[in-house]
Amino acid sequence: MTLGRAAPAAGVRIHAPARLHLGFLDLGGALGRRFGSLGLTLEAPETCVRIERAAQDSLAGPDAARAGRARDLVRAALGIDLPLAISIAHALPAHGGLGSGTQLALAVAAGVARLAGRPLNVRDAARVLARGRRSAIGIGAFETGGVILDGGKPVAPAAEDVGAAPPILARLPVPEAWRILLVFDAAKSGLSGEAETRAMETLPPFAETLAAHLCHLVLMQALPALAEGDAAGFGMAVGAVQRHLGDHYAAAQGGGRHTSADVAHALAFVEENGISGVGQTSWGPTGFAIVESAARGEALLHALRTRYADRANLSFACVRGNNRGARIVDLPEQGLPQQDLP
């Protein structure tokens, strides 16, 4: 996917999707590659950024400072001096496990490149923005959507590969009938930045046998079930991956499989109602459950809202999977939508 185009537009609006990080496959890297990730793209929530040519730079909206840093990095990489007005209508919750930083940065990169009329590959943009250093799930979510598997990073990369995102090995669509329940905890935040780096460095050793088991669960259970539209089979495999990784991360996130005890309680309730595909995206606190139909999802959503009505910090949503990635909409001078591009 190339972000720019030959003829500059007057303005652009970018809708970048949230994603679930369903788990790493090998944190040890004893066989030469480390990490490896499975992820799923969501239709909502999303980041929505509007960028227009302007007499001088301006920033408005949530996470505006991060958007400004991304703008400056991309302009420097492209060698351009183009004043831009950036307005963020919606931003993914920061440190919630939904990929907020990568989606905002790539959205800004798309807008800058498009308004400058300069081509910029998504992976090149990610490298400029220092995104995707462990996982390419956010890059794949932005570029194509769907369920994405990446191949991790070499333990000893060549000099030219340092900072490059892992290769994407597989991409399959999320079945149209499926729904994803989301559990948000406004009182908690997941690890990020230096705190995340320290936590990764202090985790216990990751056994080769565990890595082999996780790879088998993903390659021989989760992905085949996904290809066949089997939500229960996919959920069972993802749930098993989540339990193993939750136990491994426990010391870094308060002693349990989940960052939020309230989210853990809500997910246990979903499991009691027959859904095995539950877990925490990245470091949380956001939890998820994979459901086979809209009717089942809406019923569980109502049950969750009723059961946890007294916990003001919790909120819930039932959403579709996203199978197209980011949307880029060109704007004419008056700021009205002109055309939607895939």
Give tens-digit pLDDT for 293-341: 999 999 999 999 999 999 999 999 999 999 999 999 998 765 444 444 3
Helix (H) or strand (E) holding 47: strand 33-53
pLDDT at position 6: 44
Residue 220 is classified by DSSP as: I
CATH 3.30.70.890 fits 175-319, yes or no: yes
pLDDT at position 262: 97
Would you write out the chain's pLDDT as a tens digit for each of its 342 residues?
A: 667 654 556 899 999 999 999 999 999 998 899 999 999 999 999 999 999 999 999 999 999 999 999 999 999 999 999 999 999 999 999 999 999 999 999 999 999 999 999 889 999 999 999 999 899 999 999 999 999 999 999 998 888 788 899 999 999 999 999 999 999 999 998 877 788 888 888 888 999 999 999 999 999 999 999 999 999 999 999 999 999 999 999 988 888 999 999 999 999 999 999 999 999 999 999 999 999 999 999 999 999 999 999 999 999 999 999 999 999 999 876 544 444 433
DSSP string, 112-180: HHHHHT---BHHHHHHHTT--SS--HHHHHHHT-SEEEE--EESS--GGGTTPPPPEEEEEPPPTT-EE
User: Alpha-carbon distance 309 to 318, whole Å?
Assistant: 17
pLDDT at position 201: 81
Which residues pair with residue 339 across a beta bridge? 330
pLDDT at position 9: 66
> Half-sphere exposure of residue 249, counting CA atoms within 13 Å on the CB side?
26
1-174+321-337 has which fold?
A: Ribosomal Protein S5; domain 2 (3.30.230)
Q: Report the predicted TM-score, pTM, of the whole model to 2 decimal places.
A: 0.93
- Do 113 and 125 meet the contact criterion of CB atoms below 8 Å apart? yes
pLDDT at position 13: 96
User: Alpha-carbon distance 107 to 8, whole Å?
Assistant: 16
Three-class secondary structure of residue 96 per DSSP: coil
pLDDT at position 83: 95
Return mean pLDDT, the chain: 93
pLDDT at position 190: 85
> Half-sphere exposure of residue 251, counting CA atoms within 13 Å on the CB side?
9
Please state the domain extents for the chain: 1-174+321-337, 175-319
Tokens of 13: 């609006």
